[in-house]
Structure 1
Amino acid sequence: MHSSKFCLNIAGDTPSSNRLFDAIASHCVPVIISDDIELPYEDVLDYSQFCIFVRTSDAIKEKFLVNMIRGIGKDEWTRMWQKLKEVEHFFEFQYPSKEGDAVQMIWQAVARKVPVMRMKIHRSMRYSRSLIHNNRELRTIPTPSNFW
C-alpha cells in the first residue's frame, strides 16, 4: 500500500473501516467508491483535496475507474499526495494525546455536535406538556360498564 499511488476504498457493510485510515497513513490517494459515506471530520476537512470520489453506478462501468485514474496527471496527484501528508496527523492516535491528533479531532467533533443535539432534544420536548396532558385525559376517560 505504501508504494501505491491510489488505494480503493470500497463501501462495506459497516459505517467505518480502516481502509481510509490505512490509505492516508500510507500517503496513498484514496479512491472512495460510495454514494453515502460519512467521513470523519468532514465538517473541517475538504476530502476532495486529497481523495477521489466515485459514484457506485460509475464504478461498475467497464474501464471507468482505470480511465479515470489514468486521466489524473502527475501534478494533480502530487498536489493530492502533499495534502495527504498535511492531514495525516489528524488520523493518528497518540498516547498521550497531542494537539491536532485523532483524539483531539474526535473530541472537537463531539463538541461541535453537542449544541445541535441539545437543540434537537429541546425541539422534541416542545409538545411534551401537551402529550402529558393528553395522556392524563386518556386515563380519565371512563370505560363502558360492559367493556370487560
Structure 2
Amino acid sequence: MAASAAAIRSPLLWLFALAAALFFASGYLLLDSAAAPPARHPHEGLRLGGSRRLVGKCDPAETLLRVFMYDLPPEFHFGLLDWTPGAGAGGGVWPDVRDGAPEYPSGLNLQHSIEYWLTLDLLASEQGAPTPCAAERVRDAAAADVVFVPFFASLSFNHHSRVVPPARGSEDRVLQRRLLQYLAARPEWRRTGGRDHVVLAHHPNGMLDARYRLWPCVFVLCDFGRYPPSVANLDKDVIAPYRHVVGNFANDTAGYDDRQTLLYFQGAIYRKDASTLLLTHPN
C-alpha cells in the first residue's frame, strides 16, 4: 500500500519541484526590478511587471501546474506584512497584485521569502498581472494537481515567535493552532489526509508545532536538519534554495584562473553573509 502511494505521488512531486524552481527564478527577476519605478503607496515596494525582462502575462495553456489555493484570512499571510484588506481583485482576502504588493522585509528575512513569491505568482496568474507564470490558480480543488496552503510560516516565526506578556504563548503558535483547525475542517484535507497539500516551512524553526500534525503533506523546506524522517524526507518533500541576499558582482567577466580570492558563505544563522579568504595563486 505504501509503495503504491509513493508511486502515485512521485511524478506529482517532481512536477511540483520543477514548478517551484521556475517560481523562484521568476521571483528573483521581480525582486531585481523592485527599485526601478517609484512606489505610489507604501505597499508598492514590489512592482509586478515593472521589469523589461518580464514580457507578456500568465497563459494558462502554458502552465505546468494547476493549484487550488485556500483563501486563508490575511492574518496568515499578507496581514503579517501589515497589509489590510480593501477593494480590488482579491475580494478582501488578497491584495490586488496588478498594482503592487506588500513589501517583504529585507535582510536575512529574504532567505526564506519563497512563501511570499509562490503566493504572489498564484495571485498574478488569477488576477491577470502582466507577469509570466509556471502555475495557475484554479477554484475547483477537483481540477487541481496540488492544494497550496498560503501560510507565511517563516515570517511568522521570525517576527512573532516570542511570547509577549501577558500572553502565555506566542502569536506564531496561536496561528499554527488556528491553521490546524482550519485544515481539519476542510473537505480538501479530509479527502486525501493532506497528501496532496503543499505547506511551506522554509525557516528551520517554522511550523515547529504543526509539522508533526501536517506530516502527510508535501513540505517545502531549506533542509531536513530539524525534522525526523517520519515527518520530512526525500520521498515526498521539496528542498528549495535560500533567496540569495548577497549582492552580485557587476560586469564580472573574470575566469577561474584570474581569481586569487576565494569567496565563501559563513554557516549558522549568518550563512548568507559573505566572508573572504585570501589565497596565493599557484601560478
TM above 0.5: no
Q: TM-score scaled by structure 1? A: 0.29
Q: TM-score, normalised by structure 2?
A: 0.19
Structure (1 or 2) with the larger CA radius of gyration: 1
Question: Which of the pair is proportionally richer in helix?
Answer: 1
